Amino acid sequence: MPNPADPYEGDDLDDLPPPQPVHYAEQALLGALLLEPHRLKTIAHLEPHHFGNHAHGTLFTALLSVPAPDPKQHAKDIAWLNAVLTKAQPEAPGLTASYLHTLIQVCPRPEHAAAYASMIRADHARRTVREHANRLCQIATDATLPNPAVTVLGQADALSLYLDELSTQFAPHPGSLPRTPLPSAPPRETAEEALDEERLLLSTATTHPNEVKAMRWLQPSDFTHPLHAGLWQCLVAMTRRDTPVDPVTVLWEAQHRGLLSAGAEPSELLDLLAGPVGSPESWGERILQRSVLQIAHHIARRIEAFTKDPATTPYQLVVGSRRALADLSAVRTRWQHATSPAPESRPARTSATAAPRAGPPRTTAPPAARISR
């Protein structure tokens, strides 16, 4: 049986989920404005696109565009209601005169219009944050992007800017952290391509250990395989101590760190550390980029979980999402260090290269001379 409070009365609604609470807030607000159009002055910062229901947003647009009627005349006839309906129907053909009267009937208290509008803005904020999080998820897993790390960090910045905007619209309150159970971190990617890149990094770094000192931006947590992370720690420690580095010395360091007890054979490690290709920096950047994308994907899933929890208030959504994005700051800084060009070293200025003075220094007349004038 069709829902008498739905603008599309002729549609088959059997397969649709039940309306969410915001649906009734939208109906209550529109009913209040249809009954008492002067309530539009009490609504701040509400836009048609804030409505989740397309027909409701179209009707609100018509309410804004049709001049408000004289209150006494509005109480006597439905001319203004017909004008609003005529304005809205081209964009929302399912709207009917009976539905407008239904909206008026289901509105509990027209004087609560501002509260209904606040509920609509809150739900729109939740949907928009979810859209940002979904986009962040998609970018983090899109293998076709030419520069995925830069793109994903740009999307994180866009989400952060929107959260800053929301923070000024909703008042803080106690219990500002969401209580939503967080999704568990996904296991590290173990694709053969990622493992190959880590092996190539270790072999090239063993051949060019001096370049390891400049790669502090790469951390063991960026590696997908525990053995590879351990070998990277060996290389970093050895270069800091300025000890000789080659496959045999790295194997000895790995033995002292207990890496051989994990089942790795010495000959396997020697093979892994042989055959360098390329440069350590290029392989390290690829490994770090994978880490950036995986962290961003996990953060997006956390924020998405906040938006799907109906108990999360708008302020909790802002605080929780900001805290989640803060986890991206450290890896963002490391990525910037890895990809920023090295600063050019300028030669110290000498007497030969110093710029000549424009002229002799000016002398200042003594006070007595100035007074004598």
**Helix crossing, 113-140 with 21-35: angle to 10°?**
140
To the nearest whole number, what is the mean pLDDT of the chain?
A: 87
For the chain, the maximum distance between any two Cα atoms, rounded to a whole number of angstroms, is 107
Q: Are 140 and 156 in contact (CB under 8 A)?
A: no
pLDDT for position 16:
63
Please give the model's pTM, rounded to 2 decimal places.
Answer: 0.80
Give me the half-sphere count of Cα atoms (radius 13 Å) on the Cβ side of residue 39.
Answer: 21
Q: Where are the alpha helices (DSSP H) in 216-361?
A: 226-241, 247-256, 266-272, 280-308, 314-326, 329-339
Residue with tokens 């949907």: 127
Q: Which two tokens stand for residue 177?
A: 């952290």
Percent of the chain with pLDDT over 90: 73
Return the higher-pLDDT residue of 189 and 265. 265
Task: Give tens-digit pLDDT for 76-124.
Answer: 889 999 999 999 999 999 999 999 999 999 999 999 999 999 999 999 9
Q: Are 275 and 130 in contact (CB under 8 A)?
A: no
Return the higher-pLDDT residue of 193 and 3. 193
pLDDT tier for residue 7 given thresholds of 50, 70 and 90: low
CA dihedral (248, 253, 256, 262) positive or negative: negative
pLDDT for position 123:
96
pLDDT for position 363:
38
Task: Give tens-digit pLDDT for 273-295.
Answer: 998 899 999 999 999 999 999 99
Q: Which two tokens stand for residue 297?
A: 């994907």
In the predicted structure, residue 33 carries a pLDDT above the cut 80: yes
